[in-house]
Structure 1
Amino acid sequence: MNKTKKEIIITLLLNIALPYAIYQLLISHTSSLTALSAAALVPLCDTLYSLIKTRKADVFSGFIFLGLILGVVAVLLGGDERFILLRESYVTGIMGLLFLVSLFWARPLIYYFAERFTGHDPQMNEKWERLPNYRRTFRLMTAVWGVSLLLEACVKVALVYSLSIPTFLAISPFATYGIIALTIWWNISYVRRVKREAAARF
């Protein structure tokens, strides 16, 4: 297994799989607040480790940590039954806005995610500096993910206030997973097409 694959697996385990497992293990024995707080410790520790090791903030781990903290805030806010059903979508919507706001940064969020998965490959910085198409690729992917996350949140808000709660619970997972699955499919297809075009040029 090469270094890049190891980086991807470790990153996904530490920032997605492990926090999710901790949350699922604790949620039946404690409150949502405690379970989310415990899950948030993993990406926080990963971010601190990366900061100490590379002296550079780990944007991906920080992004996951922020999402979990927003989940904690949503739990603390409470609210009626419909608001509680939408807690995850409010967080998703904020994450989507953050993707779109990052388009105005020197480098958008997707760039930092890719950098984390490739083990901070120095060639990425070189390509970013000299290849306009490379920059355009990352900005487009960031924009698509931002719009998709916002769309998921808006669709679920519309559904929860137009359907009965049992109907919403039955339908909303299809909306969520359908939008995310389509975005992942587009992302994979787009990256493959970009790589084919780059290979054809050289």
Structure 2
Amino acid sequence: MLGTLLCDIAAPAGGYYLLRAFDVAPVWALTLSGLPPALRVLYLAARHRRVDGMGVFVLAIVAIGLATSLLTGDARLQLVRGAWFSVLIGVWMLASLRIGRRPTTYQATLALLPGRASTLEARWADTPSFRRVWRVLTVVWGVGGLVHSAGSIAMAYTLPVDVVPGLDTALSIGSFVVLQVITQVLLAREGTMNRMFRGRAQLPAA
């Protein structure tokens, strides 16, 4: 997870300011600095011979960023490319509470813990508090993602372009940490995951 955060969040911001130090135009600095996450996805795809949904999402952001650079040359559109995708994800997460068989956060946890899937599904079937906590977490992450996206879009259109990548990176890391803390607290209070992973140092990240 730390490697993913460094590659997907820290590296693009650091790469942007490095390119700007060499007088690369903002729009192209934003485009090129978005390559590390895409390269990570391609490396993992070659290694495991498959691309998951998040990988497709990352590649789509990079492709849209490149198209934006070529067609418009607008740096501010580059700054908000990821935020608009995050809006769609937030809406999708909230919609999963009504139109899906399982909330999105629970589905993501099943994918992260395939060896525990049968146990998780058994708890889902017979433990109301377990079902409730995942619905609450889906609301938390969905609303949190929308708030984060709104902040990113506001910064992109109101602040100087060179200020936004650093601030947006700080906002992304801060939002992630806050949401993870809330996730761990709610899961710990509900207790099911504690019993499943008793003896481990911490709960798995949702």
TM beyond 0.5: yes
| Contact preservation (8 Å) 1:115, 1:124 | yes
2:154 to 127, 152, 158: 158
2:105 to 107, 110, 116: 110
Matches within 5 A, 1:1-202: 16=4, 20=8, 38-41=39-42, 62-75=52-65, 76-78=67-69, 79=72, 80-104=74-98, 105-121=100-116, 122-195=118-191
1:83, CA displacement in angstroms?
Answer: 0.9
Partner of residue 23, structure 2: none
How many residues end up aligned between the 2 structures? Answer: 173
Distance 1:46 1:97, change over 3 A: farther
For residues 146 and 134 of structure 2, what CA distance do their matches in structure 1 show? 18
Distance 1:47 1:181, change over 3 A: same
1:147, CA displacement in angstroms?
Answer: 1.0
Distance 1:91 1:43, change over 3 A: farther
Determine helix, strand or coil for the equivalent of 2:52.
helix
- Report the identity percentage: 19
Structure 2 gaps of 5+ residues are 20-30, 196-206
**Aligned amino acid, residue 155 of structure 1:** G
1:163, CA displacement in angstroms?
Answer: 1.8
Distance 1:109 1:63, change over 3 A: farther
For residues 108 and 43 of structure 1, what CA distance do their matches in structure 2 show? 27
Determine helix, strand or coil for the equivalent of 2:158.
coil
What TM-score, normalized to structure 2? Answer: 0.65
For residues 18 and 82 of structure 1, what CA distance do their matches in structure 2 show? 23
Partner of residue 52, structure 1: none
| Contact preservation (8 Å) 2:7, 2:36 | no
